[in-house]
Amino acid sequence: MCGIVGYVGSRECTEVLLNSLSKLEYRGYDSAGIAVFENNVIKTQKSKGKIADLIAKMENEGRLEGHCGIGHTRWATHGEPSDINSHPHGNANVTIVHNGIIENYKKIKEFLERKGYVFESQTDTETAAKLLDYFYEGNPIAAIQRVLDEIEGSYALGIMFKDYPDRIYAVRKDSPLIVAVGDNESFIASDVPAVLQYTKKYYLLEQDEIAVLDKNGVEFYDDHGAPIKKELLTADFDMEAAEKGGFAHFMLKEIHEQPTAVRTTITPRISDGMPNLEECGMTYERLKNYNNIFVVACGTAMHAGLVGKYVIEKIARVPVTVDVASEFRYRDPILTDKDLVILVSQSGETADTLEALRLAKRNGADTLSIVNVKGSSIARDSDMVLYTHAGPEISVASTKAYMVQLSVFYLIAFSIAYAHGKISMEECKRLVAELQNVPNVIEEILKTPDSCQYVASQLVNSENLLYIGRGLDYALSMEGSLKLKEISYIHSESYAAGELKHGTISLVTNGMPVIAVATQRNLFDKTVSNVKEVKARGAYVILVTHKCKTVDSDAADCVISLPTIDDLLMPMTAVVPLQLIAYYTSVLRGNDVDKPRNLAKSVTVE
Ligand code: F6R
């Protein structure tokens, strides 16, 4: 989604804005622009396309020179990607950059048109800019407050007023924004990596708080205009964590970071060999009280929830319902104060997941979030939070975040099972030890990517693909399929292996690739029977299974054999070849692996 940056200080502003924007490219965008105070006049430069296109334009037109400015990468919602629709928007008096959606922009636009304003873009943002201009009578904070009273929806805004050429104003609601400070310089940004090359010190801007930045520092005001003090935070990762570190792509680097990410996530939550989630108040006693568990999330995070469901239900025998957040919100779910709703989100800012959390709270359920980004909205709004410690995930396609989400679900499942007396302490310790061994097994798998590279070379010209599996393998197939389609652009479906013959098998034609995941040994023979059904119809079968399993030579064209661990934990290791297959296929197709088309990293619109 859109990225916002802003700078005021003694450095050359255009340079800082471009550097910072380039660190937000991973969020996904289709145009970019900046506004800079040049000789006390607000000047903008913007362009459809990538930051490189903006830079090319600057080379023709000349760079804006100044020490105070705002910048933006736009992920189009209202109006196609174009120079005109790119941010910043406004006029000579007030100029803004915006992330989010102004839901009532049409009404505001009609009002402003009646007042004589003329609009040039199709964006909702331009209405907010012109409304600010309309309300502005010399006091920026008063004008911002008037605008906040009128606009509905989500927003993070970076604002410049002509009369204050050495200041940036910022405000947000339901879209993230941080305010960072260095030596005689201040910044705004959608995310910490944007400013890490300049400073690690930052503030989290809360709902409807207003920040006023100049080179000497920042002042904050609440929504009534009263000054407030805020806690200065320090980023717990550095530039290196946000750089590729020798890997060709962030996705590959992040796949390789998975063993460390799992260790960092689980180690502090294991004491005396037992899972311990008390850091967030999740005691065994509390865990015993829930009648139902709901897992609500989007995309890959929801797929992690599906694995969580299988594992919790299997060993703890507590019913778990998994919902896509955008469906959960509107299906009027039956929730009580005896229910636990688990929200899963890497970014902690996904709009639908955040709203699902608010719905769960309104209905009296306990809420627990599994979140990667510290201090994000979902983490702050939920009753309990278990942070995953994956470090920044830059690639749009989520890999290490999924992995650590799984690891937290295992700890939750073991804890609930033990709390309910469904497993003994001995069995619980055995499972925890298996989980602790998973990072070593992933390291082993990562040493030999050749079979995944080979599979990618077989898939590269395919138009369609099927992933099949049963039980946990079906949950995993969904993630494998999503990973492949989002970065390779090959159409793929995941299907419950036993369900194929009820319709979908008619799609299977000669040479169509089918990736069968068969890591659950009690279901192995059943899945292999389904594999034979597609093989008999000409499918090219890739089978992912345990090393210890013997596969008939006529069952699969290619077998990816994985070290044998407890079946329950196999999703954590079996997902690695699926991630690698997607990665190498995307590379072979010449795609932009880390920034796939049309996608955004942090989905802050509904
Ligand atoms: C796919 C992917 C997305 C996200 C989804 C939720 O690789 O990354 O499907 O999982 O947009 O995002 P978060 O986890 O930030 O809520």
Residue 392 confidence (pLDDT) above 80: yes
3 state SS for 98-167: EEEEECCHHHHHHHHHHCCCCCCCCCCHHHHHHHHHHHCCCCHHHHHHHHHHHCCEEEEEEEEECCCCCC
Q: Which atom of ligand 1 is nearest to the CA of 347?
A: 15
pTM of the model: 0.84
**Across 143-151, average pLDDT:** 95
CA–chain centroid gap for 133, Å, is 34
* Probe target for ligand 1 pocket from 255, 405, 482, 603, with the most ligand atoms within 8 Å of CB: 603
CA of 300 to the centre of ligand 1 (A): 5
Please, which pLDDT band fits residue 550 given cuts at 50, 70 and 90?
A: confident
pLDDT at 267: 96
pLDDT at 76: 84
| CA-nearest residue, atom 9 of ligand 1 | 299
Torsion angle defined by CA atoms of residues 590, 401, 564 and 493, in that order, rounded to the nearest 10 degrees: -50
pLDDT at 176: 87
CA of 409 to the centre of ligand 1 (A): 17
Select from 266, 324, 317 the least CA-distant residue to 295. Answer: 324
| Extended strands (E) in 276-434 | 292-297, 320-324, 339-345, 366-371, 384-387
CA of 387 to the centre of ligand 1 (A): 16
* Probe target for ligand 1 pocket from 347, 370, 372, 403, with the most ligand atoms within 8 Å of CB: 347
Per residue in 559-596, pLDDT (tens digit) is 999 999 999 999 999 999 999 999 999 999 999 999 89
Q: Which atom of ligand 1 is nearest to the CA of 397?
A: 7
Q: Which atom of ligand 1 is nearest to the CA of 401?
A: 14
CA of 414 to the centre of ligand 1 (A): 25
CA of 157 to the centre of ligand 1 (A): 24
**Pocket lined around ligand 1, Cβ cut-off 6 Å:** 298-301, 345-347, 350, 353, 397-398, 482, 486, 602-603
pLDDT at 554: 81
Proportion of the chain above pLDDT 70, given as a percent: 100
Per residue in 48-76, pLDDT (tens digit) is 999 999 999 999 999 999 999 999 999 88
pLDDT at 500: 92
By the 8 A CB rule, do 398 and 370 touch? no
Per residue in 407-466, pLDDT (tens digit) is 999 999 999 999 999 999 999 999 999 999 999 999 999 999 999 999 999 999 999 999
In this structure, the strands spanning 513-518 and 464-469 are parallel
Per residue in 498-513, pLDDT (tens digit) is 999 999 999 999 999 9
Residue 246 confidence (pLDDT) above 90: no
CA angle 55-119-163, nearest 5°? 70
CA of 503 to the centre of ligand 1 (A): 29
Residue 88's contacts (CB-CB under 8 Å, 6 or more residues apart) are 33, 34, 35, 44, 46, 70, 72, 95, 96, 97, 129
Q: Which atom of ligand 1 is nearest to the CA of 297?
A: 16
Residue 283 confidence (pLDDT) above 80: yes
Residue 107 confidence (pLDDT) above 90: yes
Per residue in 335-386, pLDDT (tens digit) is 999 999 999 999 999 999 999 999 999 999 999 999 999 888 999 999 999 9
Q: Which two tokens stand for residue 184?
A: 């005689």
Per residue in 158-188, pLDDT (tens digit) is 999 999 999 999 999 988 899 999 999 999 9
Residue 405 confidence (pLDDT) above 80: yes
Residue 606 confidence (pLDDT) above 80: no
* Probe target for ligand 1 pocket from 296, 398, 578, with the most ligand atoms within 8 Å of CB: 398
Q: Which residues on neighbouring strands pair with residue 68, listed in sequence order?
A: 8
Q: What is the mean pLDDT of the chain?
A: 94
421-431: burial string, b at 16+ Cβ within 10 Å, e else: eebeeeebbeb
For residue 267, give the 3-state DSSP assignment: helix
| CA-nearest residue, atom 8 of ligand 1 | 398
What's 359's DSSP letter? H
Query: For the packed helices 400-419 and 258-266, what is the interaxial angle rounded to 10 degrees?
Result: 30
Residue 79 confidence (pLDDT) above 90: no
Active-site residue, selected from the candidate residues 2, 298, 428, 452: 2
Q: Which atom of ligand 1 is nearest to the CA of 299?
A: 9
CB neighbours of residue 160 within 10 Å: 28
User: 2 catalytic, yes or no?
Assistant: yes
User: 601 catalytic, yes or no?
Assistant: yes
- Which uninterrupted H or E stretch holds 585? helix 570-588
pLDDT at 218: 97
CA–chain centroid gap for 518, Å, is 28
First to last CA, the chain: 12
